[in-house]
Amino acid sequence: MTAKGKTTAIGNLYQIKVTLKGSKPPIWRRFEVTGDITLDKLHLILQVVMGWQNYHLHQFKIGQTYYGEPSREFGFEVKNEKKVQLQQVAPREKTKFIYEYDFGDSWEHEIRVEKILPPPVEKHYPTCLKGARACPPEDVGGIWGYEDFLETINDPEDPDHEDLLEWIGGSFDPEAFDLAAINQRLKKLR
């Protein structure tokens, strides 16, 4: 394990915790990646570990700098995430930054570098270690819409109960978390 605040060398292993901001109880994942991945690859990994479907735009906010897919439409500078490695923007343990997915629903995730370790040779990355609770459904209306969604599907007397259950495919378990399924999907990213 590196000492707190120590910078990394190429290929070091990052243990990261991602938490969906505003979720109560918290929706979170702990996973490992190598520090030399680019932010666009980190985006794809976050989509898998959280359970999103990659239908919407995203960005990283690290300090006062935004990283994502540059576009003149944004009205502010966005640095190209394909040209920046994780270890360049988060060179130390305890580094925190924001990952925002779906600008309409504004799903903000806090990313925290928990540990920076030398990578063991025998393991493949990325890999998810732990997590809690299901990812909210796409297009449910952000954290507030998700809270309303849960109330509605749990109240058979609510006039929207049946429609929302049909929309979600019949049922939704907010406590569900399938580590094996996440790691199977991560294998496809390698």
Distance of CA 93 to CAs 31, 46, 56, 142, 181, Å? 14, 19, 29, 29, 28
How far is residue 92's CA from residue 75's CA, in Å, rounded to a whole number? 31
131, 179 Cβ separation under 8 angstroms = yes
177, 131 Cβ separation under 8 angstroms = yes
Q: Which of 109, 85, 84 is nearest to 35 (CA)?
A: 85
3-class DSSP assignment, residue 87: helix
**DSSP H stretches of helix in the chain:** 39-50, 86-89, 142-153, 161-168, 179-187
- pLDDT tens for the chain, 190 residues long, are 444 444 444 479 999 999 999 999 999 999 999 999 999 999 999 999 999 999 999 999 999 999 999 877 766 789 999 999 999 999 999 999 999 999 999 999 999 999 999 876 767 789 999 999 999 999 999 999 999 999 999 999 999 999 999 999 999 999 999 999 999 999 998 7
Tell me what pLDDT residue 75 has.
Answer: 66
Could you give all domains of the chain from N- to C-terminal order, each with its CATH number?
Answer: 13-134+176-187 (3.10.290.30), 135-174 (no CATH)
Q: What angle do CA 123, 126, 132 make, to 5 degrees?
A: 110
Burial class (CB in 10 A: 0-12, 13-18, 19+), 20: buried
